[in-house]
Amino acid sequence: MTGLYHLARLNSQWFWVDESLLSAFIERWRPETHTFHMPFGECTITLQDVAYQLGLPIDGAPVSGCLTKFENLMEHGRPAWVWFRELFGELPPQSKVKQMTVCYTWFHERFRVLPADATDETVRVYARAYILMLFSSQLFADKNANRVHLRWLPYLASLDDLGRYSWSSAALAWLYRCLCRGTNRNVVNLAGPLQLLQSWIFWRFPTLRPTGFDQFRFPLASRWAEFVPRNDAGAQRLVSARLALDRLRVHDFVWEPYSSVDVAAVIHPEILADEHRRLWTAVTSLIYFAAIEWHQVDRVLPQFDGVQHLPEGALNIDWLHAKDGRGGDRWFPTYYQEWHHFWEDRLQSVI
């Protein structure tokens, strides 16, 4: 119902990431174009990749609103902690609360096991808690990985409506934002849906792929669920990863990894539904609350079996990159109205 079933299946395994490999890729990320600049040209993670790797829906309303003060900005709004008590049946101890966040371990301990005699309403309470933890750990993780933000409360208030939002574009917007931040030499920690980034690398770069992972199912990121990176010196692994990227040639990149018969055998048909598939090549905005990024797929048309033409000039969105929602809350659909219009008109920008 929520469109998160396939993502939930990924949550059954702990994903280890190769931080050195991801760091080497971030060094080749260009915030101006939202592409990795490689020796053979440009490539990037697109909405198509999110659909195949995580099994998330693409078409839908943007994930936006505000970060706090729901009572002022939302219809029938009420203070965040009043909503919290209504949705979860109780408030966490004050020691587990910090501003608009709750300690992740409190959610995990409180809602770990569903009671055997649970009513329908209790099931919904536990489902909300699980989805909140899913968002915090899988899709929208930040550097404060041990805390759960309350920004999603308005969405959890109505589980029936949760599936009408574009969680795929929101996740990609957040990954793009984290990659753009990572290009700053003063940023030392990785954040975002890193299992998406790592799975994309392994599927598209065979020479960088670990051996022994030939079996897979849907979603495709589950292929690497048991992968464990080497534990030798991180600095040495980073140098090796940089050298491996320097040596890449055009035949070392798989432009269309999802066209194989093996992938077709495991893909779920809803991922290929027209309303989602047609947006794979939409040059449009990606929205996740205050994070606004640009899906500039006109620079990577060979990833869609296309012939690369001269792309449009890169947008200057430095102003957007400087915004993170801090310093006074806003109703983002109004504050970023122009960029929301781009998403509303997304079907007009399909290549």
Rounded Cα gap, residues 108 and 113, in angstroms: 9
Residue 323 Cα distances to 76, 202, 229, 290, angstroms: 28, 32, 34, 7
> How many Å from the N-terminal Cα to the C-terminal Cα in the chain?
30
Residue 303 DSSP class: G
How would residue 326 be classed by pLDDT, with cut points 50, 70 and 90? confident
How would residue 25 be classed by pLDDT, with cut points 50, 70 and 90? very high
How would residue 325 be classed by pLDDT, with cut points 50, 70 and 90? confident
Q: Show which of 128, 161, 194 is a domain's final residue.
A: 161
**Is residue 313's pLDDT more than 90?**
no
Q: Which two tokens stand for residue 136?
A: 């915090």
Rounded Cα gap, residues 87 and 102, in angstroms: 14
Strands (E), the chain: 29-30, 35-38, 41-43, 97-98, 101-103, 147-149, 284-288, 291-295
One domain for residues 233 and 183 = yes
One domain for residues 152 and 240 = no
- Tally the domains of the chain: 2
pLDDT on residue 73: 74
What does residue 148 show for φ and ψ, rounded to 5 degrees?
-115, 125
Least confident of 210-219, 251-260, 324-333: 324-333
DSSP calls for 191-237? -S-HHHHHHHHHHH-GGGSPSS-----SSGGGGGTT-----S-HHHH
128 contacts: CB under 8 Å, gap ≥ 6: 87, 88, 156, 159
The sign of the dihedral angle between the CA atoms of 181, 187, 192, 194 is positive
Query: Which residue would you say has higher pLDDT here, 57 or 12?
Result: 57
One domain for residues 42 and 96 = no
Question: In terms of residues, how long is the chain?
Answer: 351
Name the residue range of residue 262's domain: 1-63+165-350
The sign of the dihedral angle between the CA atoms of 224, 230, 235, 241 is negative
- Tokens 């957040």 found at: 174
One domain for residues 48 and 99 = no
Q: Show which of 115, 136, 161 is a domain's final residue.
A: 161
Residue 267 DSSP class: -
pLDDT on residue 216: 92
**Is residue 286's pLDDT more than 90?**
yes
Residue 61 DSSP class: B
The sign of the dihedral angle between the CA atoms of 185, 191, 197, 202 is positive
Q: Are 17 and 194 in contact (CB under 8 A)?
A: yes
% pLDDT > 70, the chain: 98
One domain for residues 210 and 136 = no
pLDDT on residue 11: 74
**Is residue 72's pLDDT more than 80?**
no
pLDDT on residue 67: 85
148: three-class secondary structure by DSSP:
strand
One domain for residues 111 and 202 = no
**Is residue 330's pLDDT more than 90?**
no
pLDDT on residue 234: 65
Rounded Cα gap, residues 148 and 108, in angstroms: 11
One domain for residues 314 and 330 = yes
Query: Which residue would you say has higher pLDDT here, 143 or 229?
Result: 229
**Is residue 75's pLDDT more than 80?**
no
Average pLDDT (24-52) is 96
Query: Which residue would you say has higher pLDDT here, 316 or 342?
Result: 342
Q: Which two tokens stand for residue 115?
A: 């009671």
- 39-52 tens-digit pLDDT: 999 999 999 999 99
pLDDT on residue 80: 87
- 136-185 tens-digit pLDDT: 988 998 877 788 999 999 899 888 899 999 999 999 999 999 999 999 88
pLDDT on residue 23: 94
pLDDT on residue 243: 97
Q: Show which of 161, 178, 198 is a domain's final residue.
A: 161
One domain for residues 133 and 172 = no
Pairing of strands 35-38, 291-295: unpaired
Q: Are 151 and 83 in contact (CB under 8 A)?
A: no
One domain for residues 85 and 126 = yes
Q: Which two tokens stand for residue 162?
A: 């949760």
One domain for residues 240 and 108 = no
One domain for residues 214 and 340 = yes
- Tokens 């920004």 found at: 151
Q: Please, what is the average pLDDT of the chain?
A: 91
One domain for residues 143 and 268 = no
How would residue 294 be classed by pLDDT, with cut points 50, 70 and 90? very high
